[in-house]
Amino acid sequence: MVIAQAPSSSQPSSSRSAPAADDPALVGTPPMGAFWMPFTANRKFKQSPQLIVGAEGMHYRLADGRLVLDAIAGLWCVNAGHRNPRVTAALKAQIDVLDYASNFQSGHPAAFELAARLADFAPGDLNHVFFTNSGSESVDTALKIAVAYHRARGDAGRYRLIGRERDYHGVSFGGISVSGIGRQRSTFGPLLNGVDHLPTTHDPVRNAFSRGEPVHGIEKADALEAMLVLHDPSTVAAVIVEPVAGSTGVLPPPQGYLRRLREICDRHGVLLIFDEVITGFGRLGANFAADLTGVLPDLITAAKGLSNGAVPMGAVLVRDGVHDAFMHGAAGSVELMHGYTYSGHPLACAAASATLDAYLEDGLIAQAAALSPYLEDGLHALRGLPGVIDVRNLGLLAGVELAPYAGGTMTRGQAVAQQCLARGVMVRAVGDTIALSPPFTISRAQIDEIVDTLRAAILNTVDQPS
Ligand code: PLP
């Protein structure tokens, strides 16, 4: 994450900015050379690093002592707030009992208990859980399950995978093959064979400033029918989409689109995978996008909000019929030759179970749903500011798109994100869209703070910095 140094005049109120001289959060700059930072302009960052040294609730603490409001929940993951007390307590308790146990032909109770809870939490008959350690691993696992499922049923001709333009599915070779982001794919040589991509649903002309699911674009799903005919449907294993494409600018699905994809998949025996790494675990004000839209996929990939970002964890949720197709082989044989050393790690299970408690017992998902219209109203009030070309939102997930600068070394999105940080609010720039996905513990006053800060930052970045 590239974080700009804040000018001292723009620091937030002194009660949140003056660390005591002996504050343990005040650390020196560590040696910078060895860490090859992911998705980062390493050389630029290391010239003027600004580090995050602490967090609590809705705030991060930066190395200069400032507290900043976290409007993106870490990286769309800390849905229940930073250092959520339930999660922290569960991790401390778990490490005193069991640090690690393999789930390869052995197992530990917390993994089974968590899987059962997730099956209850998931919609429909998504009753089976394969644990991973990240969203990327979840995507790879889901793609492999999809291909292997058809083989398990004697339908080995189905190997093709269909993704969609502008969808992000992590960084494994499987994930970047189905992802629809050119610059993420172009430097890695030939990817998986037999992959094709649906067109994006994003329609900046007809759907600009939509609230929730946009009205126009259900017909974009019909491209799937044409693509299946093109490739011969009997060769296609699965379609994977993000219900709301997050990392390319927060693109909610047109009304009816996901249902139509489901209908087409059903007609042709193709599995439908929802990548809910961002949209799962309450982000849209429902447990999953599948719940919100009433469209049941065959597999859901999850991570991020599953463990509140406290410990790496991912999962693939699988419907009965898909899972059961694997359970007819020779007795005693391994049904799926796949797994990770840390699948269902005890600490991750403890964190995820406590996170579920926070969602359910503390009513956080209901809170996300209740706050969503307030965030929507606040952000749509930015319409009309110079250079604001779109506002999109669903649940506590939103994007404010800005007209790009003509050139230069910094995008308008980056300029606005830097300005916001200087004013005490951390947002995420994805291209020229400012993405927002705050923890569900956010207050209305903090939503106001985000909107006011964004307004000031947008007004202050109309001209390209020289
Ligand atoms: N899928 C989606 C929709 C994501 O947003 C992400 C990450 O942002 C991933 C997959 C990859 O997750 P991870 O970074 O945990 O591998």
Whether residue 300 has its Cβ less than 6 Å from ligand 1: no
Whether residue 136 has its Cβ less than 6 Å from ligand 1: yes
Whether residue 140 has its Cβ less than 6 Å from ligand 1: no
Whether residue 309 has its Cβ less than 6 Å from ligand 1: no
Whether residue 172 has its Cβ less than 6 Å from ligand 1: no
Residue 8: pLDDT over 70: no
* Mean pLDDT on 389-408: 96
Whole-number pLDDT of residue 7: 33
Nearest atom in ligand 1 to the alpha carbon of residue 137 is 16
Q: What is the dihedral of CA 292, 296, 300, 304, to 10 degrees?
A: 10
Residue 108: pLDDT over 90: yes
Give the model confidence (pLDDT) of 258-289 as tens digits.
Answer: 999 999 999 999 999 999 999 999 999 999 99
Neighbours of 75 (CB within 10 A): 14
Whole-number pLDDT of residue 19: 42
* Mean pLDDT on 402-408: 91
Whether residue 291 has its Cβ less than 6 Å from ligand 1: no
Residue 107: pLDDT over 60: yes
The C-alpha angle 113, 115, 120, rounded to 5 degrees, equals 100
Composition of the chain by helix, strand, coil, percent to 5: 35, 15, 50
Choose the residue to mutate in 277, 284, 313 for probing ligand 1, maximizing ligand atoms within 8 Å of C-beta.
Answer: 277
Whether residue 316 has its Cβ less than 6 Å from ligand 1: no
Q: Is 16 exposed, middle or buried (0-12, 13-18, 19+ CB in 10 A)?
A: middle
Return all residues near 172 (Cβ < 8 A) that are at least 6 apart: 136, 137, 139, 140
State how far the Cα of 284 lies from the Cα of 347, in Å rounded to an integer. 27
Amino acid at 222: D
State how far the Cα of 122 lies from the Cα of 129, in Å rounded to an integer. 10
148 C-alpha to ligand 1 centroid (Å): 22
Listed as own residue / partner, the contacts of 36-40 with beta carbons closer than 8 Å and 24 or more positions apart are: 40/1, 40/2
Whole-number pLDDT of residue 20: 45
Whether residue 168 has its Cβ less than 6 Å from ligand 1: yes
H helical segments located in 304-345 = 320-325
Give the model confidence (pLDDT) of 217-243 as tens digits.
Answer: 999 999 999 999 999 999 999 999 999
Give the model confidence (pLDDT) of 381-394 as tens digits.
Answer: 999 999 999 999 99
Nearest atom in ligand 1 to the alpha carbon of residue 175 is 10
pTM of model > 0.90 = yes
Instruction: Identify the band that residue 408 occupies on the pLDDT scale cut at 50, 70 and 90.
Output: confident
* Mean pLDDT on 27-55: 92
Nearest atom in ligand 1 to the alpha carbon of residue 279 is 3
Contact 425, 462 (CB under 8 A): no
Tokens of 6: 């804040």
In 3D space, the residue among 191, 193, 169, 165 whose CA is nearest the CA of residue 180 turns out to be 165
Amino acid at 241: V
Return all residues near 439 (Cβ < 8 A) that are at least 6 apart: 57, 58, 70, 73, 78, 79, 80, 81, 82
Contact 185, 179 (CB under 8 A): yes
Instruction: Identify the band that residue 9 occupies on the pLDDT scale cut at 50, 70 and 90.
Output: very low
282 C-alpha to ligand 1 centroid (Å): 16
136 C-alpha to ligand 1 centroid (Å): 6
Contact 405, 413 (CB under 8 A): no
Mean pLDDT of the chain: 94
In 3D space, the residue among 55, 61, 68, 69 whose CA is nearest the CA of residue 20 turns out to be 61
Whole-number pLDDT of residue 14: 32
